Structure formats: structure tokens, C-alpha cells
Amino acid sequence: MRVAYLINQYPKVSHSFIRREIQALERQGIEILRFALRGWNDEIVDRDDLLERDRTRYVLKDGIRPLATALVRAFVTAPRRFLKALTLTIRMSRKAERPLLVHLIYLAEACRVLSWMQRLGAKHVHAHFGTNSAEVAMLASLLGDLTWSFTVHGPEEFDKAPVIGLSEKLRSCAFVVAISSYGRSQLYRLVEQDRWHKVHVVHCGVDDSFMKAEAPYVESRKFVCVGRICEQKGQFLLVEAAAQLAKEGVEFQLTLAGDGELRHRLEELVARRGLQDRISITGWIDAERVRAEIISSRALVLPSFAEGLPVVLMEAMALLRPVVSTYVAGIPELVIDGKNGWLVPAGDIDGLCIALRACLDAAPAILEEMGKHGRACVASAHDITKEAERLATLFSIVANNKSKDPDMHGVQSE
């Protein structure tokens, strides 16, 4: 079986879970064609991502000429299909944030994706995220004799569901994947009940390099927070909580591993609170460095305001570290308060301080037990091989059904 994967930007530091999914599918004998709209010239720090970039075809890399050529070819070859796709493009633009011109570019991108798939013999395209990559996949399906599906992660897709036409995409696709039960519930809200059978839960996963890693407990008072520095992840709240702990004379260190559009403002806050000797910001670091930071920490902290289900929580728990996070989206499906970590209400500085103190005060035996419980939870629900098998089953059903709307009733989704 040959399946095309379409991602807006690939590879990307924060998208290692897509790489793991692709590689797990390939180990099961599915040939994956990697397509991305952009990402060929991004700064890459991870060796595995560099290898993935060499395997990826980039839709926008060669400029406008190949897009225009593909557009004309699609019109000449199948004018009725092209006009249907053009009509859908116009309809998708009416409630969108971006103007019609941008959606016409999506149509041209879909024509180029279609030409690649026809030449390489792929009949199904799977997009990650329900945004523009999903629209391109949907249009490519309409232009050619293709089926398509996509994975929704959140929170952006749910925040912008009307303007990205998420309901239209749900009705059009062969199936859609949610990464948590919470995500599935949000997709249920967007379509009629008789289409709920299209929605399946396939978790993001970690591989054996995490599950079998030697990561014994170390006496450390360091917390690590891994993620893009943005409004969703709650790093500003974490710095304020750290300032409160420091004022009380609590001994700790905090490493913020990541980068993003708000890094400068975060650095300014750290300086204003006088925490330069307690808090360090690393910028983007490769996977080995992330792993080392987690292993050297007492716990991973992720005080998010909005999420899907963060892969870094799975990674930390697989490495036998408890986590401190929030009651947001799919997080409580993995993190059990008092068992493998601490959960606090999102936005609650006092609650976050209490959880951090509890972690610092916990005896080594308690932290070790939490770590073991966390690894067991990840092994049960987030083994990348098992999750890829679920996805492979869905691809196989679509391939064997020969329909753009296959019967998914009765398919076990998790």
C-alpha cells in the first residue's frame, strides 16, 4: 500500500510525533510519500529531521511555474472535476480568514499534489492538522480519483472551526483521526450524528527509545518545561509561579526548552522578576538534548492554557518522570493527579505553586513510584507501533472499499 502524507510544514522541531508515525507505518510495510507545503529551508537541529527533509517533496519550493503547469494540466485533463474543485474553493473562502486568492493557491497546490500522486501511484492522501493542508488534500481528492483523511490535533482547529471549514472537511473525508477522546468529542460537535462513524481515536505515541531508556531517579530540584514559547503553553504563568516560590525561599531551578514568537517578552519577564540565576531559556534543542534535560529533572512542567494532548508529556512519563500540568483537553486522559503527576486548574498560579512545592517535597520513593506508573500508562495507550497499526487498519479499509465514503461502522477506534 502506498499513502501520501501531506503536512503544512515538515519536518519541524515540534512535529517529531509525525515522523514517528510515518516511520512506524513504514515498519508495517506501508510506503509513505512525504509531501509538505513548506519547510525545505527551515533551521533544523535534529539529525533525524535532516534525513526526513531529504525524503520530502515540497509543493512550493520551485515557485509559481510548476503550480501553474499543474493547474492547467488538471483543467485540461478533467475539466468537470476541476470546476467542482474550483466551486468548492470559492465556497471555502467565503467564511475564511484568508482571501479567495489564498484559496486559489491552495487549489494550485492540490493540482501539484495530484500530479505527484498520479505519477507515483498513490491513491490516498492523509493530512496532518485540519487547516490548509487538509484543504489541499480535500481539493486533490476532488480533482482526481483519490481518497483522503486527516488528523486533527487542536487546539487551533477547534478555535477556528468555522473559518477553516472543518465541518465541510469532516463531511468530505473518508475518515478523520482525533488524538484524544476529548478531540473526538469536539469533532462530534461539528457534524451530524450519522457521520460520527468517520471519527476515530489514534493516539500520538512514543517508541522503544523512550520506553526502554535507562532513566533512574536522580536527586534534582530542577524542573523542565518543553514547548514553543507562545500564549498557549503557559510559560508566563510558570515564571510568575517561580517568582512566588523564590520569594518564599524555595530552592529550585527551571529550564525552559524551546523558542517562539514570545521568547523576547518571556526573557524580559524573567529579568523583571530577578530570576536569571534560577531560570534558563535554551532555544530550540535537538531530541537528544531534550531527553537529557528531562532525565536530569525532577519533573516536567507544562502549565498549558490550551492543548491537544502534548507528546512531551508522554515522553517525560516514558522516561520515568512525573509531570505537572493542567486540566485541559486530553491531558487528564493521560495524567492522573496524585498517581503519575499533579494536575492544576489552568491559569491558577496558586494551584501551580502548590503542585510545584508538593513535587519538591515528595520523597524519592514517591517520585519513583509515580515514574513507574507514568511509564505504564504510556505503554498502555501511547505505544507508537500499536497506534500505527490502528491507522494502518483505517488505510486498509479505505483501500479495499474503493469508495470515497467507506463504511467505517464497527471499526474499533481505540
Q: Which residues of 324-344 are buried (b: 16+ CB within 10 A; e: fewer)?
A: bbbebbbbbbbbeeeebbbbb
pLDDT tens digit sequence for 256-267: 999 999 999 999
Mean pLDDT of all residues belonging to the chain: 95
C-alpha span between 124 and 247 (Å, rounded): 57
Strand, helix or coil for residue 164: coil
pLDDT at 43: 84
For residue 348 the three cell numbers come to: 491558577
Cis-peptide into 11, omega within 30 deg: yes
- The pLDDT tens digits of the residues spanning 89-134 come to 999 999 999 999 999 999 999 999 999 999 999 999 999 999 999 9
Q: Please give the CATH number for the structural domain made up of 2-205+383-401.
A: 3.40.50.2000
pTM exceeding the 0.75 threshold for the entire prediction: yes
Average pLDDT over every residue of 142-162: 96
Q: Give CA–CA dist 313/315, Å, rounded.
A: 5
CA 246 to chain centre: 34
> Which helix (H) or strand (E) element contains residue 296?
none
pLDDT in tens, 381-398: 999 999 999 999 999 999
Q: Percent of the chain having pLDDT more than 90?
A: 91
Contacts (Cβ under 8 Å, ≥6 apart) of 179:
151, 152, 153, 154, 201, 202, 203, 204, 308, 309, 330
Query: What pLDDT is attached to residue 406?
Result: 67
At 286, the pLDDT band (50, 70, 90 cuts) reads confident
Write the pLDDT tens digit of every residue in 344-386. 999 999 999 999 999 999 999 999 999 999 999 999 999 999 9
| SS3 assignment for 64-110 | HHHHHHHHHHHHHHCHHHHHHHHHHHHHHHHCCCCCHHHHHHHHHHH
Percent of the chain with pLDDT over 70: 97
Is residue 2 over pLDDT 90? yes
Residue 412 pLDDT: 57
Fold of 208-381: Rossmann fold (3.40.50)
Does pLDDT of 404 surpass 80? no
Alpha carbons 408 and 405: distance in angstroms, whole number: 9
Terminal CA-to-CA distance of the chain, rounded, Å?
A: 23
Q: What angle do CA 199, 26, 110 make, to 5 degrees?
A: 60
pLDDT tens for each residue of 201-257: 999 999 898 999 999 888 999 999 999 999 999 999 999 999 999 999 999 999 999
Q: Which amino acid is at 261?
A: E
Locate CATH 3.40.50.2000 in the chain: 2-205+383-401, 208-381
Can you tell me the mean pLDDT for 26-43? 96
> What is the spatial distance between Cα 24 and Cα 32, in angstroms, rounded to a whole number?
10
Nearest-Å Rg of the Cα atoms of the chain is 22
